[in-house]
Amino acid sequence: MDKERKIQLKRKFGYFRCTSFLLINIIGAGIFVSPKGVLEYSCMNVGLSLCIWAVCAIFSLTGSLCFAEVGITFPCAGADYYFLKRCFGPLIAFLKLWTSFFVGPGVIASQALLLAEYSIQPFYPSCSAPTLPKKCLALAMLWSVGILNSRTIRDVNRIQMASTVLKMAILSLISLSGVFILVRGKKENTERFQNAFDAEFPDVSQIIEATFQGYFAFSGWANFVCIAEELKNPTKTIPKCVCTTIPLVTVFYLLVNISYLTVLTPREILSSDAVAVTWTDKVIPQLIWIIPFAISASLYSNLLISILNRTRMTYIAGQQGQLPLLFNTLNIHSSPLISVIVNVALSSLMIVITNLVELINYLYFVVSIWVVLTMIGILKLRYQEPNLHRPYKVFFPFIFITMAISLGMVLIPLIKSPKMHYIYIFLFLLSGLLFYIPFVYFKLKLVWFDKMTCYLQLLFNVCIPDAFYK
């Protein structure tokens, strides 16, 4: 093979592409569809709800900067998985991989169904869209992003940049229109801000719940660690990207919420399942059909990037010997094709079996467990390997802030509404041992699987990369 054409993940993400990648990960359906959770748990206290959004932005920034240390110190694909393996050994890393194998496709399936729903709903204005066409459309969109992810990263980047522009355009339209209406100074638009803190003040538990609602709207702030191996100069790119993206998203989120509150009353926001559409109907009714389709088009990139994120973890797990060697292969476009196919297939199964998608809501808090362990890992390495080369070190208190928030997301659901589902989830987490002990710890080999690996390599035209992170 030509030496200049190496089969390996390419460093194609510079500052602008990484910023676009992080913007797409953070800005999902929440700000368009249902930004009412913060307002609801704030007891419709407008001033407090806006303050909570600002606090959530600070928490997200501290968490991103913590993960920046992980991505810069270990610039490999799926750096968070590799970091846990380095800090706590192969068992903890495998359990993270085990949960990601099901949580990841479940999240992807949910995104595909949501995208399909908002694409097809305008054709059913007076009723809910039928389930069968919705699922068929979700499957078609899912496999289309699978095909794109199996191609060169340049194709993904083009769609990513176009989607970023579209998202920013929608948010700018809502924000600037709201500011213009507010500046006009009509009483019905300004009265909610004149005495913003006069409404009932919530208790501490409600404020915590409202904070969690807003914090979830910023979820995706750490996903740059999944593509650390594909970043140009990660030492400089990651901090610059984080310090650009989080403040930019914060400004847009605050302006969009102000715009919603300028046009709609708090009760109208709480009664709406699609606040952006309700806002459009009042302000620019001529765009009532365009906005849902624009939102759908912008959410397509979230699905595209989710597949990209998940495949990087299974790819590096193949390198580390915790998955079959077949997962550590790339096609001629330097894409982990086998990982893409497996993730898309599992996500398709979860689209068909709706019950599994619903259970994903209970698995979300497992993600917070891994964040807590990552923060403990940073502290552990700081103590055990003080001389480890760290081009960037996060401000020490930020580690404890991120750990406290993530611990709250684990413990508060268990204390506030204990359910058997959480016991089932912990049992599911431990069930990974049934695979880890024979296949990873004792390295049990299946002869028939080795033969199938050779056949699949020839069928899909994939091979082991020329170089990878060690």
- 319-356 tens-digit pLDDT: 888 998 889 899 888 889 999 999 999 999 888 876 44
Percent residues over pLDDT 70 in the chain:
92
pLDDT value of residue 356: 46
Whether residue 212 contacts residue 205, with contact meaning beta carbons closer than 8 Å, is answered with no
pLDDT greater at residue 391 or residue 202:
391
Overall average pLDDT of the 231-260 stretch: 93
Residue 401 parent element (H or E):
helix 396-416
Residues 38-47: what's their mean pLDDT? 88
Is the pLDDT at 382 greater than 70, yes or no? yes
- The pLDDT value given to residue 1: 39
> What is the phi/psi pair of residue 38, to 5°?
-65, -45
31 compared with 6, residue with greater pLDDT = 31
pTM of the model: 0.89
Mean pLDDT (whole number) for 105-112: 84
pLDDT band at 217 (very low <50, low <70, confident <90, very high): confident
Please list the residues that pair with 231 across neighbouring strands.
13
Summarised one tens digit per residue, pLDDT across range 9-34 is 788 889 998 999 999 888 876 676 65
Q: What mean pLDDT do residues 66-90 have?
A: 94
The predicted pLDDT at position 3 comes to: 47
The predicted pLDDT at position 421 comes to: 72
Res 195: pLDDT: 77
Q: What is the CB neighbour count within 10 angstroms for residue 407? A: 15
pLDDT at residue 112, rounded to an integer:
87
pLDDT(96) > 80: yes
Q: What is the pLDDT of residues 388-412, one digit of tens each?
A: 999 999 999 999 999 998 888 788 7
Round to whole Å and give the CA distance between 369 and 96: 9
Token readout for 238 is 């990651």
SS (HEC) of 33-80: HCCCHHHHHCCCCHHHHHHHHHHHHHHHHHHHHHHHHHHHHCCCECHH
Distances in whole angstroms, Cα of residue 32 to Cα of each of 223, 292, 296: 21, 9, 10
Q: What is the distance between the alpha carbons of residues 180 and 329, in angstroms, rounded to a whole number? A: 53
Q: Does residue 456 carry a pLDDT above 70?
A: yes
pLDDT higher than 60, residue 305:
yes
Quick check: 81 pLDDT over 90? yes
**Measured distance CA(67)–CA(165) in Å, rounded:** 26
pLDDT of 362 strictly over 70:
no
Predicted local confidence at residue 453, as pLDDT? 84
Q: What percent of the chain has pLDDT over 90?
A: 36
Mean pLDDT confidence for 116-139: 79
